[in-house]
Structure 1
């Protein structure tokens, strides 16, 4: 086990989480301040998802050509440039294009980083090591809104700090080895459909969590503002959800090494469904704070367990392609989630965001209960 490489890859990916945790809410709050409606903000939030779909298909081919470590360093530098341009070019159409670019290049980084971590992890520690990745990434996103609350949203400090982090991160990957071998192949949507047929429960869980994360960082601050909370309280609520995501990932990962993964999946899905239904009922009560914690924990558990099962099943190029499918599903969830929630919030109900998460969790419960067909990976 190459522990130094593991933590170097982990830290480089965490820098991205911190950068996105600052820049994504800042973009949404700026658009809100400029007078854009929930649907326009949802369109902006969906642009990185389109980039995810583009980047996922190129990850394996580019990694075979340039090498995993070199490509990850290039993606970090490209992400820094794109986020810096958000500060320099404050225009809705330009931001749409930049968010598309950010989605594409950072997707390649996530595909390779998650593959590298899963390749390094030994089987008996896989659940805990993958959970540490998920928990740390969630904490990095938590720190983003907290830092943004300290820096303020009136100026561009959040954009510039995110840029600096992404410029420093490539230094961590210099001289690192043990990355999965990749072949020069393109990941197609037909192959994605095969992946979904093979592992439908995992596929839906990934897409659901992707939609969850996109909504939390983009539309949840707006949802909280619309419910009458101040900007600072809205950002603290976002941070509380991410705290919940981070808090239980390590216990879930430890349990994944000892008990039925299917049971854990089902428990997380039921919890997410119930909590989502309760959010509109207690949004103005003190009970909303522990509920936000459970909201994040149950959703985050779904993604952690998905990565554990994928890492157990695949190696090398198959692992890279499987994580590329994860990225494609992530892109689909990030694309559809904000669009549906933004449209629903503007034209149907102000509580469309939690209701949509409840509906998605209900579908996952149905898939989890149909165990032989929906869970193709043995516990």
Structure 2
């Protein structure tokens, strides 16, 4: 049975391909189109496969209310209302076209997370090659079905969702017509501590749902993301900024350019190191095989002498018989004269 895979803009994604690294631009434009354009450039330089946007306005994602349930208490965004946060963080819709054009010019894939049907319509007008469902929207099954109706590949983040809710989202995607689907294990903390990630869940998700599986990582460094590759993560998504001290809503838990370079490089090294089951001698070992241990005579012997334990030792290099033959050799008669510091050979001792 072949491993599941999807394809985004011609790039195949699955466990038998290098990890697909998504740089999440999110709110890190900090209100400047020029900053958003530079983030795309730096993501391309770093080696990311894709840059991802978020497509919403404050009015499409929440209500303009000061009621208590709309207040943010604690954390990075303490004291703001949801409307204030999203008014500050949103990507202006008129920026989408120049951002898509810039990404195309740089030859880096660009797509987005839509947060309502009008966002999907905008992204369809720009021929987005794929869609991402954010963790907070995983319970919005009508939105998932609408995205699925585009026929484009879909990636669903699963932060805060239990197994039943993930299964419902997957079912909605399939019912809507999605043929290429991936799920990301995620912890929706900003930032999230590594110990909350329970990365073994990736193994279970892949087995349970039979889909391409990856990681949306909100930890502060690359350790968790790179470790996830060893557990089968085929997609890695990380927030990306030019400067973690930029003061924007998402800057403080985002990777800076050199860190993204390291993530792209090291996650692919980790994937390459996984390889396949192989007990054979590797090419890099060939030259050293001669330095393995083998049996050597450690004193001169004349033809017919009894071979005693003090006449042979297991030493490096490896030009003599294997050490496992030692018990068969002790007590035999030597067949020809031998000198000390020479390898024990079958010609000299006559093993059957």
Instruction: Using CA pairs under 8 Å that are at least 6 residues apart, name the structure with larger relative contact order, 1 or 2.
Output: 1
TM-score, structure 2 normalization: 0.25
Q: Quick check: which one's helix share is greater?
A: 1
Compute the TM-score of the two structures, normalised by the length of structure 1. 0.24
**Could you say which structure has the higher strand fraction?**
2
Which has the greater radius of gyration? 2
